[in-house]
Amino acid sequence: MIEIRLHGRGGQGAVTSAELIAIAAINQGKFAQAFPSFGPERRGAPVQAFARIDDIPVRTREKVYNPDIILVLDPSLPKIVKVTSGLKENGIAILNSHYSEKEVREILGDYKGNLALVDATKIAIEEIGLPITNTTMLGAFLKVTGLIEPSYMEEALKARFGKLAEKNIKALQRAMKEIKIYK
């Protein structure tokens, strides 16, 4: 089973991203689940969402404590939240950041593992017209993990966003091209 933890701020689409990962995986013939973890947070407060993907039915319903993958939608979060907490040894941290690998590693502190960076905010503003990075980060997720074929994610975006899907698909595709992966 692959476990994913998404970090974002309320209103950025972390919960939607987790749902889209699960929908695309299910449409591809896998088993998946997605769920949020938040209390009385307001727009802009740090939130987490989770997704699981497997080839067999997913029975566990608990929060993801030791993810294989973390996806960080907001570039300011690693400065205030230990986003890599519990990340498995061979896991990967996928972050929205315009900083260099060296700068991001300094912000993350003791994290020495796999890292992938994309300036999702810039891409979202240029392609969608808003700094909402969820679908852009999904493109980074697809490229880095190879867990879901892009066509299944594009189908999920069309079903979810209707007329707005085209801009989101462009942002997703651009992130797939611009993501930088560091081992």
Q: Is the pLDDT of residue 142 over 90?
A: yes
Domain enclosing residue 136, as ranges? 2-182
| Residue 51 β-bridge partners | 4, 34
> Of 134, 125, 121, 28, whose CA–CA distance to 71 is shortest?
134
CA distance 36 to 164: 24
How many CA atoms does the CB half-sphere of 24 hold within 13 Å? 26
Give the gyration radius of the chain's Cα atoms.
15
* Cα–Cα distance measured from residue 157 to residue 51, given in angstroms and rounded to the nearest whole number: 17
**For the domain that residue 78 is a member of, what is the CATH number?**
3.40.920.10
Indicate if the pLDDT at residue 118 is higher than 70.
Answer: yes
Q: pLDDT per residue over 2-11, tens digit each? A: 999 999 998 8
pLDDT digit string, tens, across residues 54-93: 999 999 988 999 999 999 999 999 999 999 999 999 999 9
Query: Over the stretch 10-49, which tens digit does the pLDDT of each residue have?
Result: 888 999 999 999 999 999 999 999 998 866 556 778 899 9
Cα within 13 Å of Cα(161), Cβ side: 21
pLDDT of residue 44: 77
Which carries the bigger pLDDT value, residue 138 or residue 37?
Answer: 138
Structural domains in the chain (count) = 1
